[in-house]
């Protein structure tokens, strides 16, 4: 398939939180790009890409015509290539906090999204309706029978992914409680400011947006969202195309928004302990990880990628000056986060 090299090529799916996240980043940053649905000729042209995940992005003027995957590294690569409308806060401490919240959204948010996506009518959802809207963009005009069959295949393909994401019956209480807590934290954010670190969106905003956008599209999770955070659907609409947003970063000396503090508290109570338990399980050669968050048990197979996530967070903290680390620690007062991300070995023993 012949492709112009003048713009970025972004191949994704409307049902992929990471695809809409990357698309929103391109839109906000006003970086020339073309958005393609992962279907037809474009799907065939990129079928060789490994690992087989979306979004797939081809950078302009790449002599090898290489397609890249993994939204977080790509977001940072865009920062190196384009300086205007950065999504990384100028303040190094805010930049680390933004990364932490993006990682929180990307990796823990997937659990919420997967859990609610396929709930049936007896659980407050509508599995068939969700399957139809997700399948149609990948197919285009087709018969009801073909669309129903594709929905069935998509559902059956995603079932094996549930345990990978930790979607098991015993984990449901914590997953649902975390969803409610995140929604209420966002309501606190949006009462006072439009984005996490000021009047312009950060990487952390985009990470949380991708997962919450999917939750808004699904019946059961949308009902909870409307009950807990009525402002959030409007914020998601803004984030989808924030190309016209102009704003400033929060003054580094100013206190963090109450809702942001609550999100960081949740990261310290649940997400970072989860990453730590993952890392410890892998190091010990255990097939299962177990931890408690908010007084609720969570157990699943450990993922190597999540162990690396904790390493990356610690590396970013270690890159701060001593004074910046001190400021970061103060920002995290009242949370359990510091004990997991401190670069000092004694805090991680």
Tell me the percentage of the chain whose pLDDT exceeds 70.
96
For residue 296, which of 167, 166, 174, 182 has the smallest C-alpha distance?
174
pLDDT at 345 over 70: no
High-pLDDT (> 90) share of the chain, %: 79
8-81 CATH pick, 3.40.30.10, 3.40.190.10, 3.30.230.10, 3.40.50.1400 = 3.40.30.10
Sort residue 100 into left (φ over 0), alpha (ψ -120 to 50) or beta: alpha
Q: What is the pTM of this model?
A: 0.94
Residues 6+ away with beta carbon under 8 Å from 308: none
Q: What is the pLDDT of residue 344?
A: 66
Tens digits of residue pLDDT in 50-63: 999 999 999 998 77
Strands 56-58 and 289-293: unpaired
26-45: buried (b, 16+ CB within 10 Å) or exposed (e) per residue? bbbbebebebbbbeeebeeb
250-299 per-position pLDDT tens digit: 999 999 999 999 999 999 999 999 999 999 999 999 999 999 999 999 99
CB atoms within 10 A of CB 285: 7
Reported confidence tier of residue 102, pLDDT bands at 50, 70, 90: very high
196 SS3 class: coil
pLDDT tens sequence across 162-206: 888 999 999 999 999 999 999 999 999 999 999 999 999 999 999
**pLDDT above 90 (res 154):** no
pLDDT at 346 over 80: no
For the stretch 203-258, pLDDT in tens is 999 999 999 999 999 888 999 999 999 999 999 999 999 999 999 999 999 999 99
Going from the C-alpha of 23 to that of each of 34, 39, 78, 133, 154, the distances in angstroms are 9, 17, 12, 19, 23
Q: Enumerate the H helices of the chain as residue ranges.
A: 17-29, 40-45, 71-81, 92-103, 109-117, 127-139, 144-158, 161-164, 172-192, 203-217, 219-228, 232-240, 258-266, 272-284, 304-318, 322-331, 338-341, 345-348
Q: Which residues contact 41 (CB under 8 A, 6 or more apart)?
A: 1
Instruction: Tell me how far apart the terminal alpha carbons of the chain are, to the nearest angstrom.
Output: 53
Q: Residue 131 pLDDT > 90, yes or no?
A: no
pLDDT at res. 187:
98
State residue 243's pLDDT score: 98
What are the backbone dihedrals phi and psi of residue 293, each rounded to the nearest 5 degrees, phi first?
Answer: -135, 135
pLDDT confidence of residue 227:
96
What pLDDT is recorded for position 209?
Answer: 99
Mean pLDDT of 49-76: 92
Strand order in the sheet with 8-12: 33-37, 8-12, 56-58, 67-68
Return the pLDDT at 127.
76
State residue 245's pLDDT score.
98
- Tell whether the model's pLDDT for residue 126 goes beyond 80: no
Question: Per-domain residue ranges for the chain?
Answer: 8-81, 92-116+166-348
pLDDT higher than threshold 60 for residue 349: no
pLDDT beyond 60 at 2: no
Maximum Cα–Cα distance across the chain? 63
Q: What is the rounded CA–CA span in Å between residue 146 and residue 151?
A: 9
Of residues 96 and 139, the one with the higher pLDDT is 96
- pLDDT average, residue stretch 124-129: 75
């Amino acid at each position: 398939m012949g492709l112009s090299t003048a713009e970025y090529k972004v191949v994704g799916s409307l049902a992929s939180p990471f695809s809409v996240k990357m698309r929103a980043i391109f839109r906000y940053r006003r970086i020339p790009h073309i958005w393609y649905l992962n279907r037809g000729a474009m799907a065939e042209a990129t079928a060789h890409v490994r690992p087989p995940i979306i979004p797939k992005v081809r950078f302009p003027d790449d002599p090898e015509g290489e397609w890249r995957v993994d939204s977080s590294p790509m977001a940072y690569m865009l920062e190196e290539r384009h300086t205007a409308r950065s999504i990384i806060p100028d303040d190094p401490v805010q930049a680390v906090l933004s990364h932490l919240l993006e990682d929180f959204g990307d990796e823990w948010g997937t659990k919420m999204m997967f859990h609610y996506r396929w709930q049936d009518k007896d659980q407050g959802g509508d599995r068939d309706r969700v399957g139809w809207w997700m399948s149609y963009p990948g197919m285009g005009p087709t018969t009801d029978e073909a669309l129903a069959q594709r929905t069935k295949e998509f559902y059956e393909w995603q079932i094996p992914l549930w345990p990978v994401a930790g979607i098991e019956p015993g984990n449901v209480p914590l997953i649902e409680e975390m969803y409610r807590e995140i929604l209420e934290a966002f309501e606190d954010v949006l009462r006072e400011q439009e984005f996490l670190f000021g009047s312009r969106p950060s990487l952390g905003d985009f990470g949380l947006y991708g997962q919450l956008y999917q939750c808004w599209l699904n019946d059961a999770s949308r009902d909870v969202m409307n009950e807990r955070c009525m402002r959030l659907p409007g914020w998601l609409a803004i984030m989808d195309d924030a190309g016209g947003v102009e704003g400033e970063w929060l003054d580094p000396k100013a206190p963090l928004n109450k809702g942001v503090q609550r999100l960081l508290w949740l990261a310290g109570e649940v997400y970072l302990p989860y990453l730590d338990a993952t890392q410890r399980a892998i190091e010990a050669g255990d097939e299962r990880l177990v931890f408690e968050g908010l007084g609720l048990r969570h157990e699943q197979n450990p993922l190597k990628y999540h162990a690396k996530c904790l390493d990356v967070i610690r590396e970013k903290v270690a890159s701060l000056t001593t004074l910046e680390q001190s400021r970061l620690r103060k920002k995290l007062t009242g949370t359990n986060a510091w004990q997991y991300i401190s670069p000092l070995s004694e805090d991680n023993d």
